Amino acid sequence: MKCVTLVAIAITTLSACAGGTEKTIVAPPPPPPVTTFTATIEQVNTSITRATFPNSLLSLKGTVRTNLGVVVSSGFSWTLNGESVSSASTFEQTVTPGTYTVCLEAPASKACNTVSVSAPKPMTGSVFLATVSEIPTQNPQLVACSWKSGETGCVDMNADMQYSIASADFLSDTSYIFIRCKTAGCGWKSSITQVSRVDSAKAINVVLLRDSWKIQCGTWANTTITLSLEKAYSFRENNGIAMNIPFFFRSNNVPLGYIYNSPTWNKNSFPIPVALDSDSSDVALLPNDSTIVMNSAQSLSENFGSQCFLGKPLFRPATFSEVGPVNQSGRRSYLTGIGIQVKNIPNSLAGGSGDGTNIVGGSIFLSQNPQSLFLAIYVIKHELVHTLGFGHGNGRVAWQPGLMTDSTNLRTSDPLTGVLIAEEVAHMQAFYRVRELALKYNACGIGCIHQGERINLGLPVQRVYAGSLSAPTQFSGNISRNETALKP
Ligand SMILES: [Zn+2]
């Protein structure tokens, strides 16, 4: 007997035996296995770093799977705008800003995405000029610069005093916008404002101030004073102990970049109502007391040159109820003007109240002891200047013999005794004008200009001690002139 073994293709073996006759059985072939592929773009990222600036790093990640779910690692490719760029599962390339079509291709499968790569956002903002008149007469030639631990690049300001500057510095959490004269000596101080990467979405506005200030009218008409914010912020101390209200320009503890944003009265509050509070005084007030107070106030307006600067006097006589008397913490405060009490206390003093933005009220306690000091016109004027938002000048480094600077001012033989001197007037006017613009345009004001001035003087950027509006009579604790250095 003959046996034949037939092998059917790859799969089936059949045997058949028959006497004398051969019979062949052939099994039908199975269908060939079919593999399909699916390409998927899993991740598309773009990011700007210091290394890629101003371009972006494009990162792609994709997979290709068979119909059985098996991930394959070869035989596919990435294309970027139609050009083959990679056959790995991930792909990274630095690309210039623009629109890209990225595709991941596998046999009979293709996935595509459109990727928009944006240019780095610039910092933008406007510069507002603080001048003696409300309308600045000229535009200085200015530049806006990026600043990290130093200046890293500048752009010119346009004719509308606006800037737009892109820099890798602005990718970090802390950097600065530095506004300065294009060439040194243009007559304006610099300004430096701290920014962070999220700030590129909003305007970073700044106020600029001249190097000098010309007083327009009053006692010091046509007097030009060189402004020194460093002097206005000089720390007044005695053997390391802070003296009362230790800066002429007072400082508040508010976020960096807008440091020492101490308050002023709103321009519309002038003339500020002033009233004597006989109810709360320790002695009976005489009709003449009112005259003395208003003469002091008038003299201060004349010294300050308020008629040109504000178009009106600083103060006006008012009734008791007009100044908004309220009893707070066992003493009387005033919420809509200045109230004056005469007290049996050794020294005269002043305080203030605010609405969160501006000063709205002031209280003055005039000393009746030891020598009826409230009769001295310079004491009343000194306290009135406190209610305008100013502290004491540092007699060693600031101007002398200022009304707010030093007790040497009390030498009655000095013809300037009791006079607000030109340096004080110029700095007070500058302070008010800068703050007015800073509030109006949401701009960084006096603090940024002070730091800009320090840079021009070759001094490090650092904030001053953060005092408060209602300074206690004696500070305690460790007070340092340079409390916190700004981080570069
Ligand atoms: Zn004082």
What is the H or E stretch that residue 302 is in?
A: helix 287-304
Question: How far away, in angstroms, is 404 Cα from ligand 1 center?
Answer: 6
Q: SS3 for 165?
A: strand
Q: Is residue 26 part of a domain?
A: no
Question: How far away, in angstroms, is 357 Cα from ligand 1 center?
Answer: 23
Q: Is residue 486 part of a domain?
A: no
What digits encode the pLDDT tens for the residues 134-165? 666 677 899 999 998 889 999 999 999 999 99
Question: How far away, in angstroms, is 245 Cα from ligand 1 center?
Answer: 7
Q: State the Rg of the chain over Cα.
A: 38
Both 90 and 177 in a single domain? no
Question: How far away, in angstroms, is 246 Cα from ligand 1 center?
Answer: 10
Both 102 and 164 in a single domain? no
Where would I find the H helices in 169-243? 229-232
- CA angle 433/437/440 to nearest 5° reads 140
Q: Find the range with the poorest average confidence among 15-29, 170-184, 209-223, 313-327.
A: 15-29
What is the H or E stretch that residue 429 is in?
A: helix 422-440
Q: Find the range with the poorest average confidence among 254-258, 333-337, 410-414.
A: 254-258
Residue with tokens 């752009």: 155
284 confidence band (pLDDT: 50, 70, 90): confident
What pLDDT sits at residue 486? 23
Q: Is residue 321 part of a domain?
A: yes
State the Cα–Cα distance between residues 443 and 434, nearest whole angstrom.
9
Q: Is residue 234 part of a domain?
A: no
Domain stops at, among 117, 138, 166: 117
What mean pLDDT comes out for the span 159-186? Answer: 91
Domain stops at, among 102, 117, 132: 117
Break the chain down into helix, strand, coil percent, rounded to 5. Answer: 20, 35, 50
State the Cα–Cα distance between residues 484 and 274, nearest whole angstrom.
39
Kindly state the DSSP code that residue 121 receives in the 8-state scheme.
Answer: P
- Looking at per-residue pLDDT, the higher value among 7 and 106 belongs to 106
CATH no. for residue 421?
Answer: 3.40.390
Question: How far away, in angstroms, is 391 Cα from ligand 1 center?
Answer: 7
Question: How far away, in angstroms, is 349 Cα from ligand 1 center?
Answer: 6
The CB density around residue 203, as the number of other CB atoms within 10 Å, is 13
Whether 256 and 463 have beta carbons less than 8 Å apart is answered as yes
Q: Find the range with the poorest average confidence among 47-51, 214-218, 364-368, 418-422.
A: 364-368
Question: How far away, in angstroms, is 429 Cα from ligand 1 center?
Answer: 19
Domain stops at, among 87, 117, 147: 117
- Does pLDDT of 366 surpass 80? yes
Question: How far away, in angstroms, is 118 Cα from ligand 1 center?
Answer: 56
Question: How far away, in angstroms, is 12 Cα from ligand 1 center?
Answer: 111
What mean pLDDT comes out for the span 105-116? Answer: 92
472 confidence band (pLDDT: 50, 70, 90): very low
Question: How far away, in angstroms, is 31 Cα from ligand 1 center?
Answer: 103
Both 113 and 127 in a single domain? no
Question: How far away, in angstroms, is 302 Cα from ligand 1 center?
Answer: 20
Question: How far away, in angstroms, is 295 Cα from ligand 1 center?
Answer: 19
Question: How far away, in angstroms, is 403 Cα from ligand 1 center?
Answer: 9
Which residue range(s) make up the domain with 87?
A: 37-117
Residue type, 129: L
Look up the pTM and report it: 0.81
Q: Find the range with the poorest average confidence among 70-79, 226-235, 411-420.
A: 411-420
State the Cα–Cα distance between residues 249 and 230, nearest whole angstrom.
10
Both 168 and 191 in a single domain? yes
Both 404 and 288 in a single domain? yes
Q: Any bridge partners for residue 205, and if so which? A: 443
What digits encode the pLDDT tens for the residues 226-275? 999 988 987 776 665 566 666 788 764 333 333 455 788 999 999 999 99
Both 316 and 448 in a single domain? yes
- Does pLDDT of 462 surpass 60? yes
Q: Find the range with the poorest average confidence among 126-140, 204-218, 306-320.
A: 126-140
Question: How far away, in angstroms, is 162 Cα from ligand 1 center?
Answer: 41
Total domain count for the chain?
3
Q: Is residue 187 part of a domain?
A: yes
Question: How far away, in angstroms, is 402 Cα from ligand 1 center?
Answer: 11
Q: Is residue 13 part of a domain?
A: no
Both 166 and 269 in a single domain? no
Whether 274 and 337 have beta carbons less than 8 Å apart is answered as yes
Pairing mode, strands 56-66 and 77-80: unpaired
- Does pLDDT of 10 surpass 90? no
Q: Is residue 401 part of a domain?
A: yes
- Does pLDDT of 463 surpass 50? yes
- Looking at per-residue pLDDT, the higher value among 242 and 189 belongs to 189
What is the H or E stretch that residue 448 is in?
A: helix 446-456
What pLDDT sits at residue 19? 53
Both 77 and 144 in a single domain? no
Both 358 and 410 in a single domain? yes
Question: How far away, in angstroms, is 249 Cα from ligand 1 center?
Answer: 13
CATH no. for residue 135?
Answer: 2.60.40.1120
Both 167 and 185 in a single domain? yes
Question: How far away, in angstroms, is 383 Cα from ligand 1 center?
Answer: 6
- Looking at per-residue pLDDT, the higher value among 199 and 62 belongs to 62
The CB density around residue 121, as the number of other CB atoms within 10 Å, is 16
Q: Any bridge partners for residue 293, and if so which? A: none
Question: How far away, in angstroms, is 236 Cα from ligand 1 center?
Answer: 12
What mean pLDDT comes out for the span 287-303? Answer: 90
Both 271 and 186 in a single domain? no
Question: How far away, in angstroms, is 222 Cα from ligand 1 center?
Answer: 28
Question: How far away, in angstroms, is 348 Cα from ligand 1 center?
Answer: 8
Question: How far away, in angstroms, is 472 Cα from ligand 1 center?
Answer: 12
Mean pLDDT in the chain? 82
Question: How far away, in angstroms, is 363 Cα from ligand 1 center?
Answer: 13
CATH no. for residue 45?
Answer: 2.60.40
What pLDDT sits at residue 412? 60
Both 149 and 209 in a single domain? yes
Question: How far away, in angstroms, is 386 Cα from ligand 1 center?
Answer: 7
What pLDDT sits at residue 21? 63
Q: Is residue 130 part of a domain?
A: yes
